[in-house]
Amino acid sequence: MAEVTKEKVIEALKGVIDIEIGIDIVSLGLIYNVDIEDDNTVNVKMTLTVPTCPMANMLVEQARSAVASIEGVEKVNVDLVFDPPWTPDMMEDSAKKLLGR
């Protein structure tokens, strides 16, 4: 069985684009935590730019699907949280530049 690593999970999540903003959810700072259990269950804690984001269900499902596509992953849990609240300061510098911050 292939080894599941945090790096592989983050790389897969970079393929999930917030289509309203046009930037991936990792660069936006929406991924708070990735935990990989011994049985290759991957737990992702993520947030949204705003709790009322109309794309919430789609982004969560795309994140789950992206992680599930990694060889060796047995199960994926995506936990949507709003504490701490997201702020633009959480974005990677590359995303800030794209958004003119």
CATH code, domain carrying 60:
3.30.300.130
Q: Which residues pair with 80 in a beta bridge?
A: 46
30-60 pLDDT, tens per residue? Answer: 999 999 999 999 999 999 999 998 999 999 9
1, part of any domain: no
Domain range for 84 is 6-98
42, part of any domain: yes
63-90: average pLDDT: 97
What is the model's pLDDT at position 2? 82
Look over the chain and give the mean of its residue pLDDT values, rounded to a whole number: 95
Number of domains in the chain: 1
What is the model's pLDDT at position 89? 94
11, part of any domain: yes
30, part of any domain: yes
What is the SS3 assignment for 28? Answer: coil
Terminal-to-terminal C-alpha distance of the chain: 43
17-35: average pLDDT: 96
For residues 18, 68, 6, 56, the Cα torsion angle rounded to the nearest 10 degrees is 30
28, part of any domain: yes
Q: pTM of the entire structure?
A: 0.94
